[in-house]
């Protein structure tokens, strides 16, 4: 089925006869595969009598060689899959199998993509970036402090390079445009965080997605913001360069070196918010983050510090 899709990727019309000849199947078998493509991958295909079949818009597939070429002299290995459960899950399997980091896992589609707090990450085929970078971390907990916030800075700058000038940060793991989410980050660890461990930096970016019925919050994409279709290979290369730069600064100097820059790009700096921790809601005003990446809130005139993977931040109605 994906072989058929690759024949159609140029966005031009192809006759059923020519597609059948290229695949070595009948025209009726081509028709069945096209129906499956539309149903399983949610890709609209135009059918015009006398002209054939055409994708509603051309597709540029992820290409590991192109990404590596455009990120030289970085030596990160790149693996690209057509469809997997999640790039983070595959990255963890590769670590268990002995693959040496750093390396990147990408997929055209995720069947079980996940975000923070157990949320589903909607992952349509060949529209967005689903990416996991695996690093070996030595030197203990200091190398993990504020790491997700550092990744957020890299993602934000890659998006701005791609024309999304309004991209900004939301503590702890989101990149927004206005109040709409455009990217999210999910970090997972394996090993001893106090000694030597592997960290998987999972990044999801809405790139060319223009509609999605299953997303349970306001969202946008690079294409919706810029009005043009984006070559995802170029964006992955931009992201890799930004990640390399920010991760190196973090490795050498720690998060305190990047604390001020992060606060300057925090969309909700100074805003009235509710911090949700399970069934508890804490109302306060965002003061910023501390040198470890924890959230600083003014709660009834007292500065309080909050951190943890199960916390969620929401704007208050009166903000």
**Are residues 138 and 31 both part of a single domain?**
no
Q: Is 167 left (phi over 0), alpha (psi -120 to 50) or beta?
A: beta
Where does the pLDDT of residue 142 fall: very low under 50, low under 70, confident under 90, or very high at 90 and above? confident
What is the reported pTM?
A: 0.91
Q: What is the pLDDT of residue 230?
A: 95
**Are residues 70 and 218 both part of a single domain?**
yes
115 is in an annotated binding site: yes
87 is in an annotated binding site: yes
**Residue 30 belongs to a domain with what CATH number?**
1.10.10.10
Q: What is the pLDDT of residue 117?
A: 52
Q: What is the pLDDT of residue 195?
A: 83
**Are residues 51 and 106 both part of a single domain?**
no
**Are residues 274 and 222 both part of a single domain?**
no
Spatial separation of the C-alpha atoms in residues 231 and 186, rounded to whole Å: 23
**Residue 95 belongs to a domain with what CATH number?**
3.30.930.10
19 upstream amide cis, omega within 30 of 0: no
117 is in an annotated binding site: no
In the predicted model, is pLDDT for residue 118 greater than 90?
Answer: no
In the predicted model, is pLDDT for residue 232 greater than 90?
Answer: yes
In the predicted model, is pLDDT for residue 116 greater than 60?
Answer: no
**Are residues 176 and 283 both part of a single domain?**
no
**Residue 306 belongs to a domain with what CATH number?**
2.30.30.100
H-type helices in 9-73, by residue range?
16-23, 27-41, 64-71
Collect all residues with Cβ–Cβ distance below 8 Å to 139 and sequence separation of at least 6: none
**Are residues 107 and 196 both part of a single domain?**
yes
**Are residues 43 and 192 both part of a single domain?**
no
The residue out of 222, 244, 263 marking a domain boundary is: 263
Query: Would you name the residues annotated as active-site residues?
Result: 116, 181, 314
Where does the pLDDT of residue 1 fall: very low under 50, low under 70, confident under 90, or very high at 90 and above? low
Q: What is the pLDDT of residue 194?
A: 80
The residue out of 245, 263, 281 marking a domain boundary is: 263
Domain count, the chain: 3
**Are residues 285 and 199 both part of a single domain?**
no
pLDDT higher at 35 or 89: 89
Element (H, E) at 283: strand 280-289
241 is in an annotated binding site: no
Q: Please write the tens of the pLDDT for every residue from 187-211.
A: 999 988 888 899 999 999 999 998 8
110 is in an annotated binding site: yes
Q: How many helices (H) and strands (E) does the chain have?
A: 9, 14
Do 302 and 254 contact (CB within 8 A), yes or no?
A: no
Q: What is the pLDDT of residue 309?
A: 66
Spatial separation of the C-alpha atoms in residues 283 and 313, rounded to whole Å: 10
pLDDT higher at 90 or 50: 90
Query: Of the ranges 50-54, 120-124, 150-154, 278-282, which one carries the lowest mean pLDDT score?
Result: 120-124
pLDDT higher at 215 or 250: 250
Pairing of strands 196-205, 129-138: antiparallel
Spatial separation of the C-alpha atoms in residues 127 and 19, rounded to whole Å: 23
**What mean pLDDT value characterizes the chain?**
91
Domain that holds residue 16: 2-55
The residue out of 15, 36, 55 marking a domain boundary is: 55
Q: What is the mean pLDDT of residues 99-122?
A: 82
86 is in an annotated binding site: yes
Collect all residues with Cβ–Cβ distance below 8 Å to 311 and sequence separation of at least 6: 172, 275, 276, 277, 295
**Are residues 82 and 42 both part of a single domain?**
no
**Are residues 25 and 153 both part of a single domain?**
no
Q: What is the mean pLDDT of residues 29-40?
A: 86
In the predicted model, is pLDDT for residue 81 greater than 70?
Answer: yes
Q: What percentage of residues in the chain have a pLDDT greater than 90?
A: 68
Q: How far is CA 7 from CA 21, 168, 169, 267, in A?
A: 12, 38, 39, 43
Spatial separation of the C-alpha atoms in residues 226 and 228, rounded to whole Å: 6
**Are residues 236 and 146 both part of a single domain?**
yes
142 is in an annotated binding site: no
Q: What is the mean pLDDT of residues 39-52?
A: 84
**Are residues 143 and 19 both part of a single domain?**
no
């Amino acid at each position: 089925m994906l072989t058929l899709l690759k024949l159609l990727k140029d966005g031009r019309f192809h006759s059923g006869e020519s597609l059948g000849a290229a695949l070595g199947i009948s025209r009726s078998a081509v028709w069945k595969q096209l129906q499956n493509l539309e149903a399983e991958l949610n890709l609209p295909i135009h059918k015009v009598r006398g002209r054939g079949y055409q994708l509603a818009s051309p597709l540029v597939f992820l290409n590991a060689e192109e990404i590596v070429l455009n990120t030289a002299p970085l030596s990160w290995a790149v693996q690209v899959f057509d469809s997997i459960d999640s790039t983070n899950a595959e990255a963890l399997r590769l670590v268990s199998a002995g693959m040496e980091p750093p390396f990147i896992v990408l997929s055209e589609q995720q069947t079980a993509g996940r975000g923070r707090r157990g949320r589903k990450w909607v992952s349509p085929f060949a529209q967005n970036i689903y990416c996991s970078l695996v690093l070996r971390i030595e030197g203990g907990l200091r190398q993990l402090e504020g790491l997700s916030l550092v990744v957020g800075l890299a993602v934000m700058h890659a998006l701005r390079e791609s024309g999304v000038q309004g991209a900004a940060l939301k503590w702890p793991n989101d990149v927004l445009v206005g109040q709409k989410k455009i990217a999210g980050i999910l970090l997972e660890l394996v090993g001893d965080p106090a000694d030597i461990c592997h960290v998987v930096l999972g990044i999801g970016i809405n790139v060319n997605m223009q509609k999605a019925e299953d997303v349970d919050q306001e969202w946008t994409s690079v294409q919706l913001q810029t009005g043009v279709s984006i070559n995802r290979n170029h964006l992955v290369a931009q992201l890799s360069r930004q990640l390399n730069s920010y991760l190196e600064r973090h490795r050498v100097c720690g998060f305190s070196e990047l604390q001020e820059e992060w606060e300057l790009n925090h969309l909700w700096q100074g805003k009235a918010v509710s911090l949700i921790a399970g069934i508890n809601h804490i109302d306060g005003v965002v003061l910023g983050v501390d040198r470890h990446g924890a959230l600083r809130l003014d709660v009834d005139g007292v500065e309080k510090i909050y951190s943890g993977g199960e916390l969620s931040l929401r704007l208050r109605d009166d903000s």
